[in-house]
């Protein structure tokens, strides 16, 4: 919840949960409060020390614009293993209009990336492996 998360800090990290979860997940929006950054980094250290993984979502292109360099550093340093994004966010991250170019870049920067593409479905990349998931066809769109 974006309202309560502004109070998150290192003192809120529960070591047993950080080291016990198979994958710890955080929203890119959570990167806004400085103390939350400390909590996320602390959690990532605990998780990795226990052989676990850390994932994040890029949250939105505006969030990516604010923290592009920091998000790339989180990925490239191995602090974040898995990234969730949509096609707009990944193109914003790599400052390109080409989805294929952005996908080629993100596969180098993290272990796994899962990218949604609206009516084009999703793409998951891990190293040289690519999995394309087609969007589900619907008869009538009622509400987005």
The C-alpha atoms of residue 85 and residue 124 are separated, in whole angstroms, by 10
- Residue 7 has a pLDDT of 83
Mean pLDDT score, 49-78: 96
Give the chain's length.
144
Q: Is the pLDDT of residue 97 over 90?
A: yes
Tokens 């490239």 belong to: 76
DSSP state of 102: H
Predicted pLDDT at 1: 53
User: Is pLDDT at 110 greater than 60 in this prediction?
Assistant: yes
- pLDDT 10s digits, 34-56: 899 999 999 999 999 999 999 99
Phi, psi at residue 47, to the nearest 5°? Answer: -65, -50
């Amino acid at each position: 919840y974006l309202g309560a998360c502004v109070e998150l800090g290192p003192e809120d990290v529960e070591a047993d949960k950080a080291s016990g979860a198979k994958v710890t997940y955080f929203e890119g929006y959570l990167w806004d409060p400085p103390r939350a950054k400390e909590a996320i980094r602390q959690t990532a250290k605990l998780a990795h020390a226990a052989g676990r993984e850390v994932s994040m979502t890029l949250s939105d292109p505006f969030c990516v614009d604010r923290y592009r360099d920091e998000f790339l550093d989180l990925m490239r340093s191995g602090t974040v293993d898995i990234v969730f994004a949509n096609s707009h966010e990944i193109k914003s991250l790599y400052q390109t209009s080409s989805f294929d170019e952005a996908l080629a870049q993100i596969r180098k920067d993290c272990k796994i990336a899962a990218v949604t593409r609206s009516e084009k479905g999703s793409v998951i990349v891990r190293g040289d492996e690519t999995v394309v998931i087609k969007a589900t066809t619907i008869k009538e769109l009622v509400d987005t």
